[in-house]
Amino acid sequence: MSKQDTTSTKMLRFRRSERHLHWALAIPFMICYFSALTLVIDYNPDPTRPYREIISWVHRISGICLFVFPVIALLINRHDIRIYFYNVKQACSWNLQDVKFLFLMVIAPIFKKISLPDQGKFNAAEKINFMTLMGTYPVYIVTGALLWITDGAILAFFIHFGAALIATPLMFGHIYMATLNPETRVAFSGMINGYVDRHFVQHHHAQWHKDNYHGTVPIHAEDAITTEYEEDKEKADKKSSEENLNVLKPAC
Ligand code: HEM
C-alpha cells in the first residue's frame, strides 16, 4: 500500500446523501433480520408462544421501511444523485488488484510483511458486500410482499430465506469490521459525520486517495464544492481551527 504522509487531517469519505441512504437501508435491514431470527429460533419450535404476532408485525413493518426509507433518502438527496451512480460504478468495477486483495486479505493478518494492493473507494470485500446488497435488495422486497399477500408462497419463502442466509456472514462481518476490529473501526466515523482520518484513507483506500487528491489538495476542487459543502465547510473550518487540522473533501 502507498506510503503515508505525516499530515494529520480528516477527510470527507461519505457525503450526507450517502450516509442517509446507508442508514435508511441498514436500520430497517437489521430490524428485519433480528425479528426474523427471533421468529425462526424462538417461535418456529412452538408457534403458540405469546407475542408471536407482535414480532411478526415488527418484521413486516420493518420490511415496509426497508422499501420506503431508501426511496425517501433518494428523493431528498436527488440533487446529489451523481454520487450514488459513482458508488455503484465503483462497486461494480473489478480488476486484478481486487482479486489479489481478496486472496491476500485472508493471510495478511498472519504474515505481517504482506502488503495488500491499493484499493479504490471500496475494497474488494466491500465491493462484494455492496453488490450482494444491490442484488438481494429487490429479492427481499418482492418475495416479502409475495409472502405477505399470498400468505404462504413456498418458493418465495425459500428465496426470501436463502437471501437472508447469504446476508448473514456479510452483515456480521461488516458490522464487526465497522465497530469492533481495531484495524478498521476508525472508519465508523465516516458513516456518522462523514469524516475519516486521512491516514486511514491513504492506507486502506490508497487508489481513491490518489485519484482525488494531489498532496493535500482535492484535485477537482470545484467538484468538491457541492451540496453539503457550505454547511460542512463551516463545520470543518470551526473544527479545523479548533484542532488545527486540514479538512479535505474529495471530488467523489
Ligand atoms: C451497526 C450496523 C452498521 C454499521 C456500524 C455500519 C457501518 C458502515 C461503515 C462505517 C461503512 C463505510 C466503510 C468504509 O469506510 O468503507 C459502511 C458501508 C456500507 N454499509 Fe454499513 N454498517 C452497518 C450496517 C449495515 C447493513 C445492515 C447493511 C446492509 C443492509 C450495510 C450496508 C453497507 C454497504 C453496502 C456499505 C458500502 C460497502 C462497504 O463498505 O461494505 N451496512 N457501513
Q: What is the DSSP string of 146-185?
A: HHHHHT--HHHHHHHHHHHHHHHHHHHHHHHHHHT-TTTG
pTM of the shown model: 0.86
pLDDT reported for residue 10: 86
Q: Which one-letter amino acid corresponds to residue 85?
A: F
132 contacts 169 by C-beta, under 8 angstroms: no
Q: Measuring from atom 41 of ligand 1, which residue has the nearest CA?
A: 126
CA distance 211 to 189: 22
CA distance 241 to 89: 36
- The architecture in CATH of the region 3-245 reads Up-down Bundle (1.20)
Q: In degrees to the nearest 10, what's the CA dihedral of 28, 155, 126, 184? A: 50
CA distance 16 to 49: 43
Q: Measuring from atom 22 of ligand 1, which residue has the nearest CA?
A: 175
Ligand 1 neighbours, Cβ below 6 Å, are 13, 22, 25-26, 29-30, 122, 126, 129-130, 133, 171, 174-175, 178-179, 187-188, 190-191
Closest C-alpha among 79, 2, 3, 18 to residue 249: 18
**Ligand 1 pocket mutation, candidates 11, 22, 200, criterion most atoms within 8 A of CB:** 22
Q: For residue 127, which atom of ligand 1 is closest to its CA? A: 38
Q: For residue 126, which atom of ligand 1 is closest to its CA? A: 41
Q: What is the whole-number distance in angstroms between the Cα of residue 181 and the centre of ligand 1?
A: 14
Q: What is the pLDDT along the chain (252 residues), one digit of tens a residue?
A: 544 444 558 888 999 999 999 999 999 999 999 999 999 999 999 989 999 999 999 999 999 999 999 999 999 999 999 999 999 999 999 999 999 999 999 898 888 888 899 999 999 999 999 999 999 999 999 999 999 999 779 999 999 999 999 999 999 999 999 999 999 999 999 999 999 998 899 999 999 988 877 665 555 544 443 333 334 444 545 554 444 444 556 655
Q: Measuring from atom 27 of ligand 1, which residue has the nearest CA?
A: 26
140 contacts 66 by C-beta, under 8 angstroms: yes
Q: For residue 130, which atom of ligand 1 is closest to its CA? A: 35
Residues in the chain: 252
CA distance 5 to 23: 32
The residue ranges of every structural domain in the chain are: 3-245
- CB contact set of 190 (below 8 Å; sequence gap of 6+): 13, 14, 196
CA distance 82 to 219: 18
CA distance 195 to 205: 14
Q: Measuring from atom 7 of ligand 1, which residue has the nearest CA?
A: 178
